[in-house]
Structure 1
Amino acid sequence: MNESDGAPGRQATAVTAAANPIGGFTALHAESVVPVDPPLQKDGPFLPELTEIAPLVQATQARRDFNVSGAGVTVAVLDTGLRTTHVDFAGRVVPGRNFTADYGGDPTEVSDGHGHGTSVAGIACAGRIHTGIAPNARIVPLKVLGNDGTGRFTDIRDALDWLLDRRAALGVSALCLAAGAPDNRTTDTDMPGDAIGALLQELCDEGVCCCVAAGNDYYAHGGMQGMCYPAIFRQTISVGAVYDADEGSFRYRDGAKAFASDADRLTPFTQRLHHTVGGPCATDTFAPGTPVSSSGILNDTGESLQYGASQATPTVLGVVALLQSFALRTTGHLPTVWDVKRWLQRGSAVVYDGADDHDNVDHTGLTFGRVGALGSLLVCAKDLAVRELAKADRAGLRSGPGAGPPDR
């Protein structure tokens, strides 16, 4: 049995309302972030690319078939920082900001002394030793978690507010937040006036896709459906984790056990919320999250290994970047968040959360979507082509069978 001592930790953290006025909103419905565990670090490099997850989501084929790599797109990663000198990100790091007390609170110092942020960024857009999902996308590192893996939602709030003010100047069209509270919610309707929810809505309205981890506490919450704050907000693209292959059994620190693993089997720790229960707040998609090798922090060619919804979320961020890059090249402008969500949904593979004996948690017996880069790009390309035909019809530029008269 694989001993997964570095599994997502389940430290108890208070979920409270905190008075933190910003933009007219006064509530934050969680105080402290569940601490993130550091990835296993290696001198590296050992693997030439993210070989574990690329085949399942068909990322390599999607990049080849659509000649797309994330070029022209900038993503923000809100995490423990970034090893900005790593060769995987050479020439594509946009100056970000430190919102923590690390490095004396120096706002310009975003170095990653933990490893989680560098791992997350590498999965999304590493582009040399390792190959992320969107290897040519630019990255803005926003350090909201400390080098000890802890964090406060006030810092996340401030980072989202900073990003909202600078989104256009930086060109950011997507972000990743692979952290959350230790709660298990089924709706966002009980959080009116929440500052983070309001900022996520504003970013969404500005065309920024906000990819957020659904949470790693399914076992801890007794196998009850739900997601953590702030993934529960309907504005987000919420992401849960599946296995990408048969890699044996796993035992996690919080007590969750997988007696066997296989591709597209939900991990026993991943939180999940079906649309029949959560409605518009349901989990949007799932992605490979155990285990994933990525960029590391030991040196500029280092490698890391980690698993969890924290690894699934940047996988989806990378697919989002591919979709945005393709749409930008095709139409000259970025798509809406709702377009991206629809393409992700319609291009997904169906996974079944079956009631079986492969782990020690209850199952919903329901189906969910697992992200697919190739499928989503196919849907995106067809959608954009249909729109162009409709536009030509309205302008009276087409003739022949199927062409309609111009609108009057």
Structure 2
Amino acid sequence: MSVPLQSGDTPSSLTSTLGGEVVTWDDTGCAASNAESCFALLGMSGATTLKAQGLQALSTQRGRNVYMESNRDVFSGGGTLTATMSGSRGIWIGGNFLAWSGGSRGIWIGGMYNVIPENTQNWRKIELEKAQMMAPNLGAGVTVAVIDTGIDLKHSAFQGSLSDPSTWRDFYAADNVPQEEGTLGVGGFGHGTNVAGIILQVAPKAKIMPLRVLGPDGSGDVATVASAIDWATAKGARIINLSLGSEDNSRVVQEAIARATARNVLIVSSAGNANVSSITYPAATATLGINSLSVGSVNLSDIKSSFSNYASQLELVAPGENVFAPAPGELLAAWSGTSQAAPMVAGGLALAFGQTLVVPISDVTKKLAENAFDVYNNGANQAYKDQLGIKGRLDLVKFLENTIKY
């Protein structure tokens, strides 16, 4: 339940009137003209009961737009079907991404991506080598919030690449240690670690803010996703990666996204993996020009991935098949899904934000989509004409040429 706050409200007064438990309380905007940011989220469970008379009183007598929606397990990593491990895994070679990021040229050795050579073809496809030369700060000073299953906080790949621990939060377990939990290859375990690792391969000097909202099975609640978006915004994230989705539009989550984008935080959302002609929320409501972007997946031949959702409102696609990144327990593993395409885009945005922009922030996501590689010239994609992005697949070089000073 979302409740706009008014003068005199307290957590105890609302729960006394409505029942339930306070999940989020933000009264920072109550005294300002930006009063729409003054709100509370209340959760109802089997142990708590909504007081209908109290709801009517708040909604009518005091003129508030109070509303309720489903909460439990509405979201999953990647939508209807979660992204999947591709069956390839190995031992992490040691070190972290920063160890290879003293200069962009040093990352590439003999035409191979030195940190994770298995991804060389993916990075050639989006012209990552040249992009890192154009953006030599490699995302330094940019924090990307990964709202997901958490990450393996102890993995050597992430040492030196995480935001200050005061910015971490586990909304699933209600503590400050967003550590992945589970068994590798089962459910969503390893999903967030992979997503964070993809971002850092694209922008090695960016910082990852780990926020856990999904459990080991890959599912999570509306309230935790919305709370994490607000948290990331308040704690200084410039970019938020949402490699998750729902078939249902959540007003609570959409309002959190609106609060974030109004503060020039960019939101990147995956389109879902059910191979249907509609994309999951919040990707389905992403709009160019208001700091949000939806991302689907193609293979290395720029053909739509067999699993990727597609739709006229999809704004961009990126390689999302067999993408290698760290896995919990000092391992390396490949995953496939739109969940893997989205962090490539988030990493590209971090590269741009690490440099001097020559366009307004509100134009950045539009530039990314408009400067994509045209995938519609490939006859195999004719069935998906205008449903794989404005133009098609992520092209980091063309994007940076039209976005940053270099």
The normalised TM-score by structure 1 is 0.68
- Contact 1:52/1:292 (8 A) holds in 2: no
Supply the distance in 1 between the matched residues of 2:338 and 2:350 (Cα, whole angstroms): 18
Q: Deviations over 1:169-209 (max 9, x none)?
A: x33100101011146xxxxxxx6x81111111111111111
Distance 1:37 1:268, change over 3 A: closer
Supply the distance in 1 between the matched residues of 2:360 and 2:180 (Cα, whole angstroms): 32
Query: Where does residue 299 of structure 2 map in the other structure?
Result: 243
Q: Select which of 337, 340, 363 maps to 2:383.
A: 363
Query: Where does residue 195 of structure 2 map in the other structure?
Result: 120
Give the C-alpha shift of residue 134 in structure 1. 0.5
> 3-state SS of the aligned residue for 2:286?
coil
Q: Select which of 303, 313, 335 maps to 1:306.
A: 335
What amino acid maps onto 1:312 in structure 2?
A: A
Question: Which runs of 4 or more aligned residues in structure 1 lie more than 4 Å from their structure 2 counterparts after TM superposition?
Answer: 27-31, 353-356
Q: Select which of 309, 318, 325 maps to 1:294.
A: 325
Query: Where does residue 178 of structure 1 map in the other structure?
Result: 243
Give the C-alpha shift of residue 298 in structure 1. 1.9
Q: Deviations over 1:234-267 (max 9, x none)?
A: 34310000002xxxxxxxxxxxxxxxxxx21111
Q: Select which of 229, 235, 245 maps to 2:281.
A: 229
Supply the distance in 2 between the matched residues of 1:355 and 1:38 (Cα, whole angstroms): 28
- Contact 1:346/1:379 (8 A) holds in 2: no
Query: Where does residue 196 of structure 1 map in the other structure?
Result: 253
Query: Where does residue 278 of structure 1 map in the other structure?
Result: none
Supply the distance in 1 between the matched residues of 2:226 and 2:138 (Cα, whole angstroms): 30
Determine what percentage of the aligned residue pairs are the same residue: 27
Distance 1:54 1:45, change over 3 A: same
Give the C-alpha shift of residue 374 in structure 1. 0.9
- Contact 2:71/2:223 (8 A) holds in 1: no
- Equivalent runs, 1:40-55 vs 2, <5 Å: 40=87, 41-45=89-93, 48-49=115-116, 50-55=119-124
- Equivalent runs, 1:122-201 vs 2, <5 Å: 122-125=197-200, 132-164=201-233, 166=234, 170-182=235-247, 194-201=251-258
Give the C-alpha shift of residue 268 in structure 1. 2.1
Supply the distance in 2 between the matched residues of 1:354 and 1:85 (Cα, whole angstroms): 43
- Contact 1:266/1:353 (8 A) holds in 2: no
Supply the distance in 1 between the matched residues of 2:211 and 2:160 (Cα, whole angstroms): 17
Supply the distance in 1 between the matched residues of 2:215 and 2:251 (Cα, whole angstroms): 23
Give the C-alpha shift of residue 336 in structure 1. 4.8
Q: Deviations over 1:275-326 (max 9, x none)?
A: xxxxxxx112100000101111122xx2111001010000000001011111
Distance 1:29 1:350, change over 3 A: farther
The normalised TM-score by structure 2 is 0.68
Give the C-alpha shift of residue 340 in structure 1. 1.0
Query: Where does residue 110 of structure 1 map in the other structure?
Result: 178
Unmatched tracts of structure 1, length 5 or more: 1-18, 126-131, 184-190, 245-262, 275-281, 386-408
Supply the distance in 2 between the matched residues of 1:25 and 1:89 (Cα, whole angstroms): 42
Q: Select which of 273, 280, 286 maps to 2:311.
A: 273
Query: Where does residue 99 of structure 1 map in the other structure?
Result: 171
Supply the distance in 2 between the matched residues of 1:309 and 1:117 (Cα, whole angstroms): 13
Give the C-alpha shift of residue 272 in structure 1. 1.6
Distance 1:317 1:373, change over 3 A: same
Supply the distance in 2 between the matched residues of 1:149 and 1:197 (Cα, whole angstroms): 21
Give the C-alpha shift of residue 30 in structure 1. 6.9
Distance 1:38 1:285, change over 3 A: closer
Q: Deviations over 1:14-71 (max 9, x none)?
A: xxxxx99847663547752236356354323397323231101111111113323011
Give the C-alpha shift of residue 353 in structure 1. 8.3
Alpha-carbon RMSD across the aligned residues, in angstroms, is: 2.8
What amino acid maps onto 2:283 in structure 1?
A: A
What amino acid maps onto 2:280 in structure 1?
A: C
Query: Where does residue 353 of structure 2 map in the other structure?
Result: 324
Give the C-alpha shift of residue 118 in structure 1. 0.4
Supply the distance in 2 between the matched residues of 1:112 and 1:51 (Cα, whole angstroms): 27
- Contact 1:112/1:147 (8 A) holds in 2: yes
Q: How many positions carry a matched residue from both structures?
A: 302
What amino acid maps onto 1:286 in structure 2?
A: V
Supply the distance in 1 between the matched residues of 2:198 and 2:68 (Cα, whole angstroms): 33
- Contact 1:353/1:363 (8 A) holds in 2: no
Query: Where does residue 403 of structure 2 map in the other structure?
Result: 380
